[in-house]
Amino acid sequence: MKNIVVHSGTLLMGGIERVLIEVLKNLDKDKYRIFLFIEKDLGKENIFYDEIPEEVKVYFLKPEKLIEKADYYKVRKKNLWYKLLYNIQMKKERTIGDGNFFRYVKEIEEEYGEIEAFLDFNCGKNKIIKKVNIKNKLAWIHISMPKLLKTRGKLYRFGKRLRGYDKIVTICDEMSEEMINLYPYLKSKIVRCYNPFDFNRVVKLSEDYTELSDREKELIKDRYIVAVSRLALEQKDYYTLINAYKIYYENGGKYKLYIVGGGKDYNRIKEFIEQNKLQNQVILIGEKKNPYVWMKNSKMFVHSSTAEGFGLVLVEAMICGKVVLSSDCPVGPTEILSKDNCGVLFKTKNVRV
């Protein structure tokens, strides 16, 4: 049996985390002994922990108390003293995380023998990848790098670090082309692999009402358009979506807008809804482990994003039988929706289709 180490960032509710679980479920447990390294232990926010296959052994590289201390300083960073403490804490976090990484690798090798492959699922160990003494090292790219890193310096440094991997997995053809244009010297290492989907699971959950509260059972009966994502404004363009919805509503639109998801910008989005006096029409449903029942009962699925990797949620909405309206952002939506008229694309940050 071959040993494989898989590394990722968190077990929060999100697209990368969903794909991670599907990959772990689909790896042949008779051929591979799988060790999962998760960078951050977020305690109760480890939403997907219970879905990890029981054969997979899980290691957290950074303990929950360490993360909590950094978060405490982070929210107070406007104060110069706390900013200094935050920077010190982040350096300590990296040191502990990397130290535990190498310690666990050594323990696994001592008990089970050689590690056959290292899958860096979120590229989180790119800064130390050359120090990782495993013969097959794979990086998995989930988002448009120019949109994520933005500056030439960061893109250059990231490309230099990618040389330390044996293969670089991209999740759609457009992303492969983008990566080759950015890093032509990595062309021979780039392999496209679409995200895995469990269609039966999505269909089954779309009919499951057990998670719903009494209030939600009433809300889901209403007429609504739905958006589902992590609430992070640097990538998910909810201001444009809400502004577009306001135009629709003021011109006689009858459907409400439900936003399913949680995240750091929940309060900012809530304030923006209230500023536009739309709190009775735009409803923040919150984070849901089963968003598919909300998709299934909606009139239409809408997705406003400035950058994607593949756009997992677009496929999930189509599995639920929904018409999809999405921003034409790099890199996945065009590849998903432009074939066979699967949906409608609109220009990113444009309030009119």
- Cα angle 105-106-111, degrees, rounded to a multiple of 5: 100
| pLDDT of 238 | 96
| Domains, in order of start, for the chain | 2-140 (3.40.50.2000), 199-346 (3.40.50.2000)
Average pLDDT for runs of 10 along the chain of length 353: 97 91 95 98 94 97 95 91 94 97 98 98 96 96 88 95 97 93 97 91 96 96 96 92 96 97 94 97 95 97 88 91 91 76 84 72
DSSP 195: P
Contacts 24+ apart (CB under 8 A), 52-61: 52/11, 52/21, 52/24, 53/24, 53/25, 53/29, 55/29, 56/24, 59/35, 59/100, 59/104, 61/37, 61/96, 61/97, 61/98, 61/100, 61/101, 61/104
pTM here? 0.87
For 197, counting Cβ atoms within 10 Å of its Cβ (0-12 exposed, 13-18 middle, 19+ buried), the class is middle
| pLDDT of 353 | 61
Token pair, residue 299, equals 């009139």
122 Cβ partners below 8 Å, 6+ apart?
A: 7, 8, 9, 16, 39, 140, 142
List pLDDT tens digits, range 335-350. Answer: 888 655 678 889 988 8
| pLDDT of 111 | 97
Q: Which residue has the tokens 């056959």?
A: 116
Q: Which residue has the tokens 């536009």?
A: 276
| CB of 115 closer than 8 Å to CB of 4 | yes
Tally Cβ neighbours within 10 Å of residue 351. 17
